[in-house]
Structure 1
Amino acid sequence: MSKKAIVLQTTLELITKQGIHATSLSQIIKESGVANGTVYHHFKNKEEIITELYLMLTQDFGTVVMRNTPEDDIKKQFTVMWLNLFYYFVNNPLAFIFSEQIARSPEIPQSLKDRARQYYGEIESYFKKGVKQKVFKSYNTLIMEELFFGNVVSLVKIHENEQVKLQEKHINQAIEISWRGFLKDQTII
């Protein structure tokens, strides 16, 4: 792992454990074991580290969601997208915590959030295509994306809290409930 990657990983670990304000640059340097000069070679300050970390994770989310989606079947695409994000969060708990606690907080400036939207272009296109094909209700695609994301997050929280011993049938039920919420005609399957 490169020194830059070590700094980013250390920052992720510290921020998810104690928050942005409680994490100082000196603590990041100390915990990462990377020399001051090396850190400053890659980043001007803590805000620049957080910006890069935020953009990196946002790009991961956008890429992971669309990975291996089938070309022509909109419902299969939805299922694959849903499962991709669910398992990404289950297998990357720090990314999940960051997404929930940090990325959606007012501590991340709106200008950075707007900049990161570029990584969700394929997801937005998917929902626009579904609306255009009259499979989905004609809703604002940003709202659709957020609701999709929120449905996945809700199941991840159930998994994390072990409120229900999740089985494949529960995951499939959650996908079906989510899918039906977007459908224009509830008889379409």
Structure 2
Amino acid sequence: MPRTSKDKTRKKLQDALVAEAVENGMAAVNVAGIVKRAKVSAGTVYVHFENKDDMLRQVYLQLKTEFHETVTRHRDEADTARMVRHMWFDMFDFVRERPRDFLFLDYGSAAKILLPEQQAIADGFAADIAALLRRGVDDGTLAPLDTGMLSLLLVAPAMQLARGAVISGRPITDDVVAATFDRVWLSIKNH
């Protein structure tokens, strides 16, 4: 039987961890469940991670980095309205392709799993997005709201739709994403 590459095995472990956390909650995650789901030996976990907590932190930070890179890739767009629209649809591309990963990010954030130095990285991502939204407020594109509120108005529908997709097993359609953006845009644009 051919051996699985180290990267593929790590991805299997990551996917198993995310599935366990989303289905059973962060507190219920255990190595035995991850090993069973990933179909690897228990020792394999420790080739990639120090322990369960290290696994949770590393996977969370990896997914957070990927998410941040996805939603900020159009940061240099001169037209702020277009930038925000790109951020939204890029976020939804991530959510539609990886709804469990998106929910894992929410659960991990709520569980406060990161060490202080890791949390500083995650906080930097949030500050970066806040600065992009602040640019929209400052140039008059977005309503004069706190950037935390603007972020919440943009992300909350994605969270709800991701939960629905995971529970139902049905994908989020382009029509739903577009219609939702149109409604959200009405709430965040400067009138």
Q: TM-score range by the shorter chain?
A: 0.7 to 0.9
Report percent identity of matched pairs: 20
Residue 123 of structure 1: SS of its match in structure 2?
A: helix
1:105 to 2:110 alignment: yes
After the TM superposition, which residues 33-112 of structure 1 pair with which residues of structure 2 at under 5 Å, given as runs?
Answer: 33-68=39-74, 71-100=77-106, 102-106=107-111, 108=113, 111=116
User: Equivalent residue for 1:152?
Assistant: 158
Indicate if the aligned counterparts of 1:69 and 1:76 stay in contact, CA closer than 8 A: no
Residue 110 of structure 2: SS of its match in structure 1?
A: coil
Indicate if the aligned counterparts of 1:86 and 1:156 stay in contact, CA closer than 8 A: no
For 2:165 and 2:36, the matched residues in 1 are separated by 34
1:137 pairs with one of 126, 133, 143: 143
For 1:175 and 1:148, the matched residues in 2 are separated by 8
Provide the TM-score with structure 2 as the length reference.
0.75
For 1:84 and 1:143, the matched residues in 2 are separated by 20
Paired residue type of 2:25:
G
Indicate if the aligned counterparts of 1:25 and 1:46 stay in contact, CA closer than 8 A: yes
- In structure 2, relative to structure 1, the CA distance for the partners of 1:24 and 1:178 (3 Å cut) is same
Displacement, 1:78? 1.6
For 1:167 and 1:38, the matched residues in 2 are separated by 38
For 2:189 and 2:178, the matched residues in 1 are separated by 17
Residue 111 of structure 2: SS of its match in structure 1?
A: coil
Number of equivalences: 182
1:175 to 2:176 alignment: no
1:26 to 2:32 alignment: yes
Alignment RMSD (CA, Å): 3.1
Displacement, 1:42? 3.0
Residue 72 of structure 1: SS of its match in structure 2?
A: coil
User: Equivalent residue for 2:11?
Assistant: 5
2:122 pairs with one of 89, 113, 116: 116
Q: List alignment gaps of at least 5 residues for structure 1.
A: none
For 1:156 and 1:128, the matched residues in 2 are separated by 26
- In structure 2, relative to structure 1, the CA distance for the partners of 1:151 and 1:70 (3 Å cut) is farther
Indicate if the aligned counterparts of 2:31 and 2:42 stay in contact, CA closer than 8 A: no
Deviations 1:22-53 (A, max 9, x none): 22123334443444454324322111100111
Residue 67 of structure 1: SS of its match in structure 2?
A: coil
Deviates more, 1:16-25 or 1:71-80: 16-25
Indicate if the aligned counterparts of 1:66 and 1:81 stay in contact, CA closer than 8 A: yes
- In structure 2, relative to structure 1, the CA distance for the partners of 1:170 and 1:113 (3 Å cut) is same
Deviates more, 1:13-22 or 1:102-111: 102-111
Paired residue type of 1:20:
M
- In structure 2, relative to structure 1, the CA distance for the partners of 1:13 and 1:128 (3 Å cut) is same
